[in-house]
Every structure is written in C-alpha cells, then in structure tokens.
C-alpha cells in the first residue's frame, strides 16, 4: 500500500517538521511494515511552468515526425517572448496548455536542460510528458495536456504536486483496514497521540423505496449491498489534476472521471466500489452464485468460464461482473474518448458499494488467476459499515466534478448482524507479554483501536467493524502489546536444559543426509503440496493407501490442495526441471515428512499462550494431527560415473537405487531386506521391495528400482530414471545407532567361492539368506559377484548365482576342512530351501 504523506496529513495533523522517515519509524514501532520511503521530486529543479502552444511547424526530411513549436510561458523566461521548442510528440495542438521545462532546470534522474541545436533548430527547453517528470503512467503515453483554464506561467511543480514523500507499506493478510489512507491515518493518529479526522464520517441518507432495484439471492456471500444513482454526468468532464496525481502516487493509472472517482474512494476509505453504465444495465441488479459453465467477459477483455462457487453480479441478461473481483465489459463506463470513436459517453451511472464474503472472493480470484485491487481488499477484510459512506462520497465527488445530479433513491440491503464482542481478563495482555501494563493502559489502547470496552477485572470488548481480524483475547492482547511497543518488551533468553543435544531421530536425519551427499546425491527441498492427479500419473491402484490425503482448507494453489503422502512427486518434478535446463546427469535426495490422515478426525483445541501447555494438551494436539512419518527418497538419471581418460562411464541403474537404500540402512544400524517386488511407478521387472524385521515379522518399508516407462512418459522424465523411497522412521525403529567399533582380527580370512544354479524366478536375496544361515557364526561376509543365465549350459528357466564367502574365527586360524564344512553346510541349506545345486 502506497501512502502519500501529503494525503495522510489531510486526516492527521502531523507536526510540520515530521519527514517520511520519521513517520516510517513511528508506524514500524506500531507494528506496520513500512518497507521504503520514496522521495518524489527530490532531484527535480525548476523552472517548470505552464505554457500555451502558439504555433506548430512540421519539420520534414527526418525519419520520424518532428515539430517546431512556439510556446507562451508568460514572464517565466524573464523576457515574456514565446519559447521556441523542438518536440516529437503529436498528442497536442495549437492552443493547448502544456508543461514546459526551461533551460537551467534538472529533471528526475539528473537530466539537465539547456538550449541546444537539434533537427536544424535551436530548442530552448522541452515540452514534458508524465514519464519525464517521474509522475507515472497517465494513460496518454504522450505530452501532458492541462485543462484549458490553467494559468499560463504557473509553477508546474506545485500544480502537479511533483514533490512529495510516499510510504510503501507491506500490509499483512490480517490488516485489510490498512489498505486505505483512512486505515493508515488511524494508525498514525494513534502512534502520535493525535485526533483523527475520519473521512468516513459523512451525512448519509437512509434507504428508501426509490433506489435502483437490487435482489440478493446469496446473503452469505453478500451481506450488504448499497446502490446509488447519479445522472447527467458531463461527457466533457475530466478528472482534475489533484485527483489524477493522488491516484498516480498510490500506483494507479487515471482512466476516466467516473472510474477515477471510484478508485479514489477505494484508496481513501478501503471500500471497493464499481460504477455501472445505467443505460447498459437491464433490469434488477442481482447477487447470486454462478451457474456452472456460465461465461462473462471481464473488463480486461478476457472471456471467463464461471465456476458454481463464483459469486456474480447479474442483471436480467445474466452475469455483469465477478463480485468483488472485476466488472463485466457489457456494462463498462464509456468516457469522452469512446464517444469520439463513435460510441456514447456514459452520462448516468449506478454505483455499487457492497460487502462480500472474504473466502469466496479469495477463491474466485485464485480460480480465475485474477487478482485486483478490489479482491485484495475483500479477501483481507473490508469494513462492512463503510459501504454507505463510500457510496455517498462517490456521489458527492461525481456531483462536484462531473456536474451530475444525485437521485434521491437509496438502496441498502443488509443481513441482520450484531457487533462482535470478546470477553477478556484485564490482565491477559500482562500474562501474554510478561509485562505489567495495568487495566487503564489496556482499556486506553483498546479504545484507541476503536473498541468499546466495559467491565473491571473482566473486560467486555466490542470490536470495531473495520477490524474483522480481532476474534479472540489473544488478538486484543497483541493490539495492546504492539501499541505499547514491541521494543519495550524485556529480552529474556531461554535456559535450555544441559546435556540433551539432538534427539536420536535428528542425529539419524543428519547422518543420512551426509551419507547420501557423500555418495554423490544433492539435496532438493520441495513443497509438501500435491494434486491428487499425481497418483494417477504414478500408476497407483485405486485402493492404494497413498491416495488417502489430508486436504488443506486454504491451499496456496488450487492445483495442489493436499499434503503429500510420498516424496517422489516433488523430487521427480525437481529432476524434470533440472533436466529441462540442461543438467542431464542428476542424483537428488530428500528427507521429509509425509502426511497420512487418521481414521478418527479430531479438532485441535487452541493452546494457552500465558503458560506452558500441559502434557495432556500436547497429547490432544498430537492426536488431532495427521500421522507424519519421515521418509527418505532419491531419484537419479543419466551417467552415474562419467567417462574420461580413466575409462568408460556408467549410466545410473536400478542397482544404484537399491544401494542408496542400503546406505540409509547402514547409517541407522538396521538390516535391510531386499527382494523382488512390484509397486506403483516402478518397472515390474526392475523393482526391489525393501523390508525390515519387526517383532519377528517382515514389514515392507519402501521400494527401489527403475521407474516404469509409462510413468516416465506421463511425467516427462528421461528414460531409465530410477528412484528409491523408504520410511526412515521405520528403519530407525529397528536399527541400533550405538556406535560400533569394527572388529579387527589377527587371524587370516578363508575365502570360498560357490556357484549355485537355481530356477530363474528365485530371488537372489532368498539364496543369500539361506547361505548366510547355513554357514553359521564363522561367516564374516557374503557377496554376490556374478549372475549367469545361459540356457544351453544351465537349462531353460535356470540361472547361476556366484557368491564369495569369507570365513574367519576370532580365536584361531581356520583349517581348510573347517572352511569347507561351513561352505558345504551353507550350500546344503540353500539346496533344501530354494532347490539350489552346485554348478559343475
């Protein structure tokens, strides 16, 4: 929100010596985030005057149109003689009043003006556009043409209000009242302890039966609607300079008088308004929900297909506006320029000042990707009691500036409502802040905000209509604390209990991250939001538990309204973006929470802020939250090992994905089972199922391998992309993170190699498990080093698995017979379990 200091002073008598920086410091102390103070005209130096164009000579022989003009600037040039100026603009004519900068002046940006020869003529100054004076866009993209009654020779710096200071305030989502000069002026008045001249305190006529007919079919979406009519607007009327300049300073472009007035009142009072061309409105104005598939062309010229939840303004034909967002083109105000182009200028207008539901407007704006000044205010909260005053202010300005006539009819429809009251102990702000303010200070500060306060030890507080964000005692405590000054709160450092440090879960999280980074993976942090269509893209079954999601009431994006149940969508999206930007050899990982809804839905209670929550409070809060296990996932594609002078490279494959899972298990001190599996997005022939043993039973905790080609095509991923995801909390639950020193034996190792022939469908993990159990305690390690599947030598449907077995005893050197006996026992159990036979 941009706030000109000159406009602010109209409502608060700030000390004359106060600069924008001083006001900024006061407002920041009161809790507003004033980001910058812009000094308009700081480097502008006159003379800058009003001139009248006397003659225009068209210069020929140049690549672009050039005009040689004489301009009467009165006595501003010291001689009274016409000023000769060369100009390339063409939007002015003889007799027009323009802004002239004379030699010796300096324009914004340090551009010095002097007499100089150009296009064969000497130009003594320059005729200015709004951009050259730092005024912003005035809609003309050319020379400033002033009203005919403007006095020649008048100082244009003062006339155009070129010197000012503008505060740029970052308004938070709960302070919609500060999206207006009125709201910021109220904060400034409180900060300086000065009275406020409230621009909304106007004499407003009561509603009667003669106003424009309005029908509200959805009082929940629109609880207040005021309509006023002004007729006989002059087609020649233009927005005065002061009005245009104020709009430009707050960042808006002047358009036409009727539109400028509604924008001006919106910026002044914070109440969005809309003006309809009365001649184009057919029948009763209505407010209702749209019918699915209805269409409207909005003022930006875009045809929009409406959703059944959209709130629309209608007449007898159908929608004429998206309520609280943007009006429709079919009732647009036509100005003088439109009349010159064959249209009819608007002379009669119907003014709408309404109050719409915050959530409904926010969803409509996001659904149509159409954020407007009106929607920004409605979704943050607008004062419902200001609608009638805003409509009256608009009527007064149109009568004053456009010569219109206000019709006596006043339409005002409002749903029954009562002021919001809050009961709060008088010492509640003291408990929240840890500072003793006292009842008198609490009552005084709440009254400054606009609250009505009654009671002694227990205060009954009636919240003002312009502060819908004040809903509970803690909000009132915050108001007292911020106005007393956050900087006055004592700084007390918490004393952490000694010797605790990180939890075992936190230590494991860090160790896993370091291990994967050491293995060549790069951490990628992704948003935890997903759209439910991603489960179809990943090929999950219709009854897959991962499809049960926690949906957000107010998502950042309507396309991703749910919390993730898997890390893969975010990681694969990051991989796709990086691959699209030319990084084709990728290995990414992420550790993060996933979210699963509980079978029983509970509502979390508000925790106290004046004391530490009890264990029961925290347990109840945890029970209301979804299950949030921590997962770890990796994705990789392209080259795993680069080719070079040292040898050939190697592409990433399913084995790398499995090894990443083993790396995680080693860090957790857990034994990870790996066997053939089939699930969701993975290739059925290249997918490993990852298991751990819990209380004697195997539990599947994840999968690893190469992704299915169909999934890769759907998601736009490179061929042969691989991925792993497993439940890190489940791994930690069966692991032992006690540091284990490696055993070092002084006795030699005995190595025995065995090649076993088994059926092709037998998993290597089952063979390895049988060998490990059969070999007994002497087995130190086992490693699969070869897989062979020659049908001619082994037979159809058979394969050979070759293992290296390492035997060692801790107290002696093993004999050949002992090592061979252990090997034979291992082979025998493998033959019994999986039908393995020694390959001859």
Token reading at 785: 């080093």
The Cα 587–Cα 521 span in angstroms is 5
Average pLDDT over every residue of 792-807:
91
Average pLDDT over every residue of 367-379:
92
pLDDT in the model for residue 338? 54
Token reading at 411: 């339409």
pLDDT in the model for residue 623? 87
The three-state secondary structure class of 458 is: strand
Residue 153 has pLDDT above 80, yes or no: yes
Provide, for the chain, the percentages of residues in helix, strand and coil under a 3-state DSSP scheme, each rounded to the nearest 5.
30, 30, 45
pLDDT digits (tens, 9 = 90+) for 196-253: 999 999 999 999 999 999 999 999 999 999 999 999 999 888 889 999 999 999 999 8
The Cα 667–Cα 670 span in angstroms is 8
pLDDT in the model for residue 653? 93
pLDDT category, 557, cuts 50, 70, 90? Answer: confident
pLDDT in the model for residue 336? 58
State the sign of the Cα–Cα–Cα–Cα dihedral 92, 97, 103, 107. negative
Residue 343 has pLDDT above 80, yes or no: no
pLDDT in the model for residue 675? 87
CB atoms within 10 A of CB 366: 18
Tokens 């919609």 map to which residue?
176
pLDDT digits (tens, 9 = 90+) for 344-354: 788 999 999 99
Among the listed residues 575, 570, 599, 601, the one whose alpha carbon sits nearest the alpha carbon of residue 588: 575
Please provide the average confidence, as pLDDT, over all residues in the chain.
91
Average pLDDT over every residue of 758-785:
91
Going by the DSSP 8-state scheme, the letter that residue 567 receives in this structure is S
The Cα 750–Cα 297 span in angstroms is 83
Half-sphere exposure of 149 (CA within 13 A, CB side): 4
pLDDT digits (tens, 9 = 90+) for 665-688: 999 999 898 888 899 999 988 999
The Cα 413–Cα 107 span in angstroms is 52
pLDDT in the model for residue 341? 47
pLDDT in the model for residue 6? 94
Q: CB burial class (10 A; 0-12, 13-18, 19+) of residue 441?
A: middle
Residue 741 has pLDDT above 90, yes or no: no
The Cα 725–Cα 630 span in angstroms is 11
pLDDT digits (tens, 9 = 90+) for 457-496: 999 999 999 999 999 999 999 999 999 998 888 888 877 7
The Cα 732–Cα 504 span in angstroms is 9
Q: Tell which phi-psi region holds residue 251, choosing left (phi > 0), alpha (psi between -120 and 50) or beta.
A: left
The Cα 482–Cα 272 span in angstroms is 28
Please report the DSSP string for 44-93 in residue order. Answer: -BS-EEEEEEEEEEEE-SSSS-EEEEEEE-TTTTSS-PPEEEEE---S--
Token reading at 24: 């900024």
- pTM for this model (two decimals): 0.69
Q: How far is CA 781 from the centre of its chain?
A: 53
Residue 342 has pLDDT above 60, yes or no: no
pLDDT in the model for residue 337? 61
pLDDT category, 139, cuts 50, 70, 90? Answer: low
Token reading at 201: 């305190």
The Cα 738–Cα 724 span in angstroms is 26
Token reading at 461: 């507080």
Q: Which residues contact 479 (CB under 8 A, 6 or more apart)?
A: 445, 446, 449, 470
Lowest average pLDDT, out of 258-272, 346-360, 469-483, 788-802, goes to 788-802
pLDDT digits (tens, 9 = 90+) for 811-830: 899 999 999 999 999 999 99
pLDDT in the model for residue 41? 86
Token reading at 620: 């109840």
pLDDT digits (tens, 9 = 90+) for 299-333: 999 999 999 999 999 999 999 999 999 999 989 98
Please report the DSSP string for 87-131 in residue order. Answer: E---S--TT-EEEEEPTT-EETTTEE---EEETTEEE-SEEPBTT
């Amino acid at each position: 929100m941009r706030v000109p200091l000159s406009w602010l002073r109209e409502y608060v008598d700030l000390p004359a010596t106060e600069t924008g920086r001083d006001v900024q410091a006061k407002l920041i102390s009161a809790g507003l985030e004033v980001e910058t103070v812009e000094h308009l005209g700081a480097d502008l130096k006159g003379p800058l005057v009003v001139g009248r164009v006397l003659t225009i000579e068209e210069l020929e022989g140049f690549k672009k149109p050039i005009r040689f003009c004489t301009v009467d600037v009165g006595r501003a040039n010291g001689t009274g003689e016409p000023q000769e100026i060369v100009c390339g603009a063409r939007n002015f004519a003889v007799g027009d009043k323009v802004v002239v900068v004379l030699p010796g002046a300096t324009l914004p940006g340090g551009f010095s003006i002097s007499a100089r020869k150009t296009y064969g003529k000497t130009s003594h100054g320059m005729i200015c556009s709004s951009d050259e004076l730092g005024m912003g866009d005035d809609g003309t993209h050319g020379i400033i043409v002033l009203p005919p009654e403007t006095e020649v020779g008048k100082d244009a710096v003062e006339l155009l209000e070129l010197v000012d200071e503008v505060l740029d305030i970052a308004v938070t989502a709960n302070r919609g009242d500060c999206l207006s000069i009125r709201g910021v002026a109220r904060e400034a008045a409180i900060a300086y302890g000065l009275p406020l001249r409230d621009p909304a305190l106007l004499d407003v006529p009561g509603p009667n039966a003669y106003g424009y007919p309005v029908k509200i079919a959805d009082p929940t979406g629109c609880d207040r609607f005021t309509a006023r009519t002004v007729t006989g607007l002059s087609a020649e009327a233009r927005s005065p300079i002061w009005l245009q300049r104020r709009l430009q300073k707050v960042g808006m472009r002047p358009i036409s008088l009727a539109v400028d007035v509604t924008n001006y009142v919106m910026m002044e009072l914070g109440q969005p308004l809309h003006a309809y061309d009365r001649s184009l409105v057919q029948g009763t104005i209505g407010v209702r929900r749209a019918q699915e598939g209805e269409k409207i062309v909005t003022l930006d010229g875009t045809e929009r297909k409406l959703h059944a939840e959209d709130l629309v303004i209608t007449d007898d034909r159908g929608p004429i506006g998206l309520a609280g967002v943007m009006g429709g083109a079919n009732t647009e105000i036509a100005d003088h320029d439109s009349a010159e182009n064959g249209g009819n200028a608007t002379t009669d207008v119907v003014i709408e000042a309404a109050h719409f539901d915050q959530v409904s407007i926010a969803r409509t704006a996001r659904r149509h990707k159409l954020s407007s000044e009106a929607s920004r205010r409605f979704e943050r909260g607008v004062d419902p009691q200001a609608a009638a005053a805003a409509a009256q202010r608009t009527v007064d300005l149109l009568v004053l500036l456009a010569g219109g006539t206000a019709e006596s009819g006043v339409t005002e429809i409002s749903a029954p409502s009562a002021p919001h009251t809050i009961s709060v102990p008088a010492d509640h702000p003291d408990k929240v802040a840890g500072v003793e303010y006292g009842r008198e200070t609490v009552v005084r500060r709440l009254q400054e905000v606009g609250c009505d306060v009654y009671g002694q030890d227990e205060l009954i507080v009636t919240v003002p209509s312009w502060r819908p964000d004040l809903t509970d005692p803690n909000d009132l405590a915050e108001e007292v604390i911020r106005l007393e000054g956050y900087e006055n709160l004592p700084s007390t450092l918490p004393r952490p209990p000694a010797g605790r440090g990180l939890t075992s879960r936190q230590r494991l999280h860090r160790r896993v991250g370091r291990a994967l980074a050491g293995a060549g993976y790069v951490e990628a942090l992704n948003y935890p939001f997903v759209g439910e269509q991603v489960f179809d893209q990943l090929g999950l079954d219709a009854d897959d538990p991962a499809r049960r999601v926690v949906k957000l009431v107010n998502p950042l994006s309507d396309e991703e309204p749910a919390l993730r149940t898997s890390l893969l969508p975010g990681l694969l999206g990051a991989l796709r973006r990086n691959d699209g930007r030319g990084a084709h050899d990728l290995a990414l990982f992420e550790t993060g929470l996933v979210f699963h809804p509980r079978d029983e839905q509970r509502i979390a209670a508000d925790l106290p802020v004046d004391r530490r929550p009890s264990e029961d409070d925290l347990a109840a809060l945890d029970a209301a939250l979804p299950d949030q296990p921590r997962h770890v996932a990796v994705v990789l594609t392209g080259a795993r090992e680069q080719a070079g002078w040292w040898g050939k490279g190697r592409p990433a494959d399913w084995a790398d994905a499995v090894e990443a899972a083993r790396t995680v298990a080693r860090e957790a001190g857990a034994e990870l089972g790996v066997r053939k599996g089939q699930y969701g997005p993975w290739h059925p022939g290249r997918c490993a199922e990852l298991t751990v043993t819990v209380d004697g039973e195997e539990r599947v905790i994840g999968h690893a391998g190469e992704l299915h080609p169909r999934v890769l095509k759907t998601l736009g991923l490179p061929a042969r992309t691989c991925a792993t995801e497993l439940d890190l909390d489940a791994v930690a639950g069966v692991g032992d993170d006690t540091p284990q020193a490696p055993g070092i034996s002084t006795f030699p190792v005995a190595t025995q190699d065995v090649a076993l022939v088994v059926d092709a469908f037998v998993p290597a993990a089952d063979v390895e498990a049988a060998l490990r159990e059969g070999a007994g305690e002497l087995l130190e390690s086992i490693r699969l080093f070869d897989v062979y599947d020659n049908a001619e030598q082994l037979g159809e449907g058979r394969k050979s698995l070759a293992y290296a077995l390492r035997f060692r005893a801790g107290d002696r050197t093993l004999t050949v017979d002992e090592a061979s006996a252990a090997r034979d026992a291992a082979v025998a159990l493998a033959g019994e379990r999986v039908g393995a036979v020694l390959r001859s």
